[in-house]
Structure 1
Amino acid sequence: MQDDRGLKRIFTLSWAYNLFQELVGATNSRKWVAEHFWRAQPGQKVIDLGCGPATAVHFLPPGVKYVGFDVSDKYIASAKAKYASDPDKTFLVGVAEDFVDHLPPQMQDADLVIINGLLHHLNDDEALTALKLAHKSLATGGRLVCLEASFLISQSFLAKWILKQDRGQNVRSEPEWKALVSKTFERFDTYILTGLLRIPYTLIVIEAKP
């Protein structure tokens, strides 16, 4: 579930979303995660589930075959316009349910599937469907890397309050994230990250393999 009421509605516009991400330092944090966890290589295929306006492209090396997938027509239209001349960039509109049982060629044999801030917008059933789609999309030896908001058992009042203001209404604790991912992936690790943003905001990286 996503809360787009009131002032939050502006973040459905790609320019507003990108501006906010820049202000809170998400650009630098995503670059750090890309270097330390994505580790994408030229020639690999990367699928970005919940790609938004495809900001992840900035942190991938040249020569990567990128497939962006999102429910928002506005975000996908913006991404298509920006990368219209790049044959290595493909964009699809839909929800995970549309493709999980019938994968199109674009969603197959990925070396890396990334999910950035999508799952905390989804309830458990929806998130499980997205994880199943990621699992089916991976090639042998491929990896899934998720970057999500996370509550901690011991957390400052301000950090917890900021997480509760997120548009995504399903921010989970680390044990809850582990329980969710374990229903689809047997092998995974989690890493708690603090201090990556300019605001008190706790992130969790989930790295999983089929």
Structure 2
Amino acid sequence: MAQRITGLYQSIRIPSIYKGLMFALGADNAIRRYVNEVLKPTPGIKMLDVGCGPANILAYLPSLNYTGIDLNEKHIAFARELYGSRGRFVVGNAANDLRQDENSFDLINISALLHHLADDEAISLFTSLKRLLKQDGRIVTIDNVWLPRQRTAVKLINKLDSGLNIRTPGGYLELLNGQGFDVQTRVFHDLLRIPYDHIVMIARHGSKQRSD
């Protein structure tokens, strides 16, 4: 993974600090809007949350069949303690450790992960996730993004991010080239309390790419 993990960045790997920081920035409203306006999960579906962290999103989801996977053992332990009765929590890599779930997920969520991955890692991840997705399912991603004429404050925050692979919209779409997905994109400028730009991609089995 391409990310900063020393000094102050290391503290973000502690679940309580990560959760506190996110909600100080307004993540509660951001997650609620992301769930309601983008994910739109219906009760009972089977959902995979890739890089789930402490599973903050679960508080905003209806009753469904949830699997969260993350490489951070402390985050998974925190999620199990808080939400153990609401889902399955796996320490591991979605590209390798969920082979038994082929063609079974209605919705796969990837929140704030792609900008921590090198191109080859992200492409490999999408290749693996495509096998886990039902034919009528969706893969949804959200990450910070570089944009033309971007606000100065957003540029500064992007430069301070622990992830080293923030991309332009075209750069994120390149990760899905040749994967056989129909991809829609959407940009948000107001999900957090601070100046911040997010790009959402919604990928379905197909072959087209378009922007909304």
- Give TM-score, length-normalised by structure 1: 0.92
Aligned residue number for residue 92 of structure 1? 90
Pick from 76, 96, 100: which aligns with 1:104? Answer: 100
Aligned residue number for residue 81 of structure 1? 81
CA contact (8 A) 1:71 1:93 kept: yes
Pick from 151, 154, 159: which aligns with 1:159? Answer: 154
Aligned residue number for residue 53 of structure 1? 54
Superposed, 1:51-200 pairs within 5 Å as: 51-62=52-63, 64-84=64-84, 86=85, 88-99=86-97, 103-105=99-101, 108-200=103-195
Q: Which amino acid aligns with 2:189?
A: T
1:172 is paired with a residue whose SS is coil
| Displacement after TM superposition at 1:108 (Å) | 4.5
CA contact (8 A) 1:46 1:111 kept: yes
CA distance in 2 between partners of 1:181 and 1:159 (Å): 25
CA distance in 1 between partners of 2:180 and 2:158 (Å): 26
CA contact (8 A) 1:73 1:93 kept: yes
Closer/same/farther in 2, CA of residues 190 and 49 from structure 1, 3 Å limit:
same
CA contact (8 A) 2:94 2:129 kept: no
Q: How many residues are aligned here? A: 204
RMSD across aligned positions (CA): 1.4
CA distance in 2 between partners of 1:144 and 1:97 (Å): 14
Q: Which deviates the most, 48-57 or 152-161?
A: 152-161
Q: Percent identity?
A: 32
CA contact (8 A) 1:151 1:160 kept: yes
Aligned residue number for residue 19 of structure 2? 18
Q: Which amino acid aligns with 1:28?
A: N
Query: Unaligned regions of 5+ residues in structure 2, if any?
Result: 206-212
CA contact (8 A) 1:96 1:129 kept: no
> Which deviations, in whole Å up to 9, do the C-alpha atoms of 1:20-62 show, x marking residues without a partner?
1101112211110100111111110010000001111112102
| Displacement after TM superposition at 1:94 (Å) | 1.3
Query: Unaligned regions of 5+ residues in structure 1, if any?
Result: none
Q: Which runs of 4+ in 1 moved over 6 A?
A: none
CA contact (8 A) 1:128 1:180 kept: yes
Q: Which amino acid aligns with 1:54?
A: A
Closer/same/farther in 2, CA of residues 185 and 51 from structure 1, 3 Å limit:
farther
> Which deviations, in whole Å up to 9, do the C-alpha atoms of 1:110-152 show, x marking residues without a partner?
1100000011110001111221222111112101111111000
- Give TM-score, length-normalised by structure 2: 0.91
CA distance in 2 between partners of 1:202 and 1:180 (Å): 19
CA distance in 1 between partners of 2:95 and 2:33 (Å): 31
Closer/same/farther in 2, CA of residues 185 and 34 from structure 1, 3 Å limit:
farther
| Displacement after TM superposition at 1:2 (Å) | 1.6
